[in-house]
Chain A
Amino acid sequence: MKRTFCFAKRNLKEIVRDPISVGFGIVLPIVLLILLSIINSNIPKEAQENMFEIRLLAPGISVFGLSFIALFAALLLSKDRESSFMLRLYTSPMTGGNFILGYALPLLPMGVVQLIFCFAAAIALGLPFSANLFVCIAVCVPIMVVNIAIGLICGTLLNEKAVGGLCGALLTNVTAWLSGCWFSLDLLGDGFRKFAYILPFANAVDAARAAVDGSYADIPGKLWVVSAWAAGLTALAVVIFTHRKKLK
């Protein structure tokens, strides 16, 4: 475990010392929260539109913001892969498990920090503070793992430029469109809605909203889908990384 923690410490330093990444992950969700709250305040009451209410918006944007973790993970890994630094590490006694855990571990606290900032902003915008917010942070852990695993898979397979496009643009858009974080999935038809609920993002948003609402009974039904994706994608990330690391 010492090797894993040493490597995780290095990765945490690399991430937090890149102000653009940190700023992006923390500031963008807050900006979205503020903009959509402003839109909400301008929607006439007779429209009966509640999607942008802060109690629905805050957990949705929180889950959306976590998609940036995939970008952090993918960029870090792809940059390392393209450098001689990785060659040095490959000749060291580090195993595939040391690498994957070392990349993943620092991103979990990063995700929690992102959520804390997002909920602090939501409280300032009117979300009542309650213990449910802490439950919501815990409920978001599986979707963090999903994003970390996606990032590690992309970082293992793609170069830095492709990772920027795939994780920075495509994945964040997929998360936005398929999670229902700021519009109802019903608006896109039944087929699209069913497809979205096969994937983890919409389930994660529903679980986060249930947590914020205190509707704890609704959480497990959604969370198991996210957890299954998290387990499957993590296993896939380990397999792909180990395969790539093997002697050629």
Chain B
Amino acid sequence: MNAIETKRLTKRFGMVTAVDALDLTVREGELFSLLGVNGAGKTTTIKMLSGLLKPTDGSARVLGHDLLTELPAIKPLLAVSPQETAVAPNLTVRENLELIAGIYNSDPKRVQRMIDELGLKEAEKFKAKRLSGGWQRRLSIAMALVSDPKLLFLDEPTLGLDVLARRELWQVIESLKGKVTVILTTHYLEEAEALSDRVGVMNGGKLKITGTPREILDAAGTENFEEAFIRLAGGEAK
């Protein structure tokens, strides 16, 4: 079954077309990365698919439900870890997780499980605002996972993190493969190459190409993923 199927999904803001007739299919359990330069339409796509923005045109099915007419049925099944760290600053790590678990009516045992699985034990009593950027990102992802979602959107989860913190989060994201459908947006090409089952490259609101990292390299005629991205995002690919 496909987790996401979009048909000519479009979002316009006035005269500007942020996402232009997007046809995208993401399979269940897949880790799919959306790549693109700033303004390519990645975040707008995620916002539409997670119910934060209403598409101007086109249609989408998410986890078997129509995005426009069955959003209340979709919401309990998905989770988003937004671009900026989305935590309640004056709550502790545990309290943040308990809040989200309560809102999604999740099994309270999942709070402890997330603390254990994401290595948050040593920080569980710290207020979120006191945590470093890396720990906050880790908490943000734990908050997205505590509801046991079927579909997880990770919008630039490692943005601004140092190399070590980024590699630690890679391990967390990699551990989700096969269990949850993950849509990842990132500017870090090596991240997409290392983690993704498939990659989609967006430019100017259009999806230029989708495929495995190997297929992307072959399509661009290069062995360097960054070079492939530049060629594809720049519109050189056929």
- Could you tell me which A residues sit within 8 Å of B by CB distance? 2-3, 5-7, 9-10, 13-14, 17-18, 83-85, 87-94, 247-248
For chain B, give the interface size range. 20 to 34
- The yes or no answer to B164 lying at the interface (CB within 8 A) is no
Q: In the complex, what residues of A have CB within 8 A of residue B80's CB?
A: 87-88, 91
List residues 82-109 of chain B with CB under 8 A from any CB of chain A: 82-91, 95, 98-100, 102-105
Residues of B within 8 A of A17 (CB): 90, 127
User: A13 vs B95: C-alpha distance in the bound complex, in angstroms?
Assistant: 10
B158 sits at the interface (CB 8 A): no
Answer whether A89 and B50 are a contact pair too, CB < 8 Å, given A10-B88, A14-B91, A84-B84: no
Q: Which stretch, B33-41, B70-78, B206-214, touches the partner chain A? A: B70-78
**Which one, A14, A18, A89, contacts B103 given CB within 8 A?**
A89
Decide yes or no: A6 and B99 within 8 Å by CB, A84-B85, A90-B52 being known contacts: yes
Q: List 11 A-B contacts (CB under 8 A).
A: A3-B102, A9-B99, A10-B91, A13-B90, A85-B86, A88-B80, A88-B144, A91-B79, A92-B104, A247-B51, A248-B54
Q: Does B202 contact A (CB under 8 A)?
A: no
B102 contacts A6, C-beta separation under 8 Å: yes
CB of A2 within 8 A of CB of B82, answer: no
B238 to chain A, nearest CB (A): 36
**B143 within 8 A of partner (CB):** yes
Is B76 within 8 A of A93, CB to CB? Answer: yes
Cβ contacts under 8 Å, A18 to chain B: 90
**A85 contacts B52, C-beta separation under 8 Å:** no
Q: Is the CB of B95 within 8 A of A83?
A: no
Residue B230 at the chain A interface, CB threshold 8 Å: no
Whether B86 pairs with A87 at a CB distance below 8 angstroms is yes
Number of A-B contacts (CB under 8 A): 75
CA distance A97 to B120 in the complex (A): 33
Asked if B91 and A88 sit within 8 Å, CB to CB, the answer is no
- B24 interface residue (CB < 8 Å to A): no
Contact B99 A7 (CB under 8 A): yes
A13 to B81, CA, bound (A): 23
Q: Are A91 and B50 in contact (CB under 8 A)?
A: yes
Question: What distance in Å separates the Cβ of A233 from its nearest Cβ neighbour in chain B?
Answer: 26
User: A84 and B83 in contact (CB under 8 A), knowing A6-B103, A94-B103?
Assistant: yes
Residue A2 contacts which of B76, B98, B100, B102 (CB distance < 8 angstroms)? Answer: B102
Bound-state CA distance A173–B144 (Å) is 43
Task: For the complex formed, measure the closest distance between the CB of A81 and the CB atoms of chain B, giving whole angstroms.
Answer: 13
A88 & B86 in contact (Cβ 8 Å cutoff): yes
Neighbouring B residues of A247 by C-beta, 8 Å: 51-54
CA A23 to CA B16, docked complex, whole Å: 48
Indicate whether A93 sits within 8 Å of B103 (C-beta atoms), given known contacts A83-B84, A87-B80, A247-B54.
Answer: yes
Distance A244 CA – B122 CA, assembled complex (angstroms): 39
Given contacts A84-B84, A248-B54, A91 and B102 within 8 Å (CB-CB) = no
**Residues B53 and A248 in contact, CB atoms below 8 Å apart:** yes
**What is the chain A residue whose CB lies nearest that of B85?**
A84
Which residues on B sit within 8 Å (CB–CB) of A90? 51-52
Q: Is the CB of B103 within 8 A of A3?
A: yes
The residue in A13, A14, A92 that gathers the most chain B C-beta atoms within 10 A of its C-beta is A92
A83 vs B79: C-alpha distance when bound (angstroms):
17
| List of B residues within 8 angstroms of A89 by Cβ | 103
Distance between Cα atoms of A87 and B86 in the complex (Å): 8
- Which residue of chain A has its CB nearest to the CB of B80? A91
Residues of A within 8 A of B75 (CB): 91-93
- Ranked nearest first, the 10 interchain pairs of A and B with the lowest CB-CB distance are A6-B102, A247-B54, A84-B86, A84-B82, A84-B84, A88-B86, A17-B90, A93-B75, A91-B80, A85-B86
Residues of A near B52 (CB, < 8 A) are: 87, 90-91, 247
Sample of 15 more A-B contacts, CB < 8 Å, known A92-B75, A92-B100: A3-B102, A5-B102, A10-B91, A10-B95, A10-B99, A14-B89, A14-B90, A14-B91, A84-B86, A88-B143, A88-B144, A91-B79, A92-B104, A93-B72, A247-B54
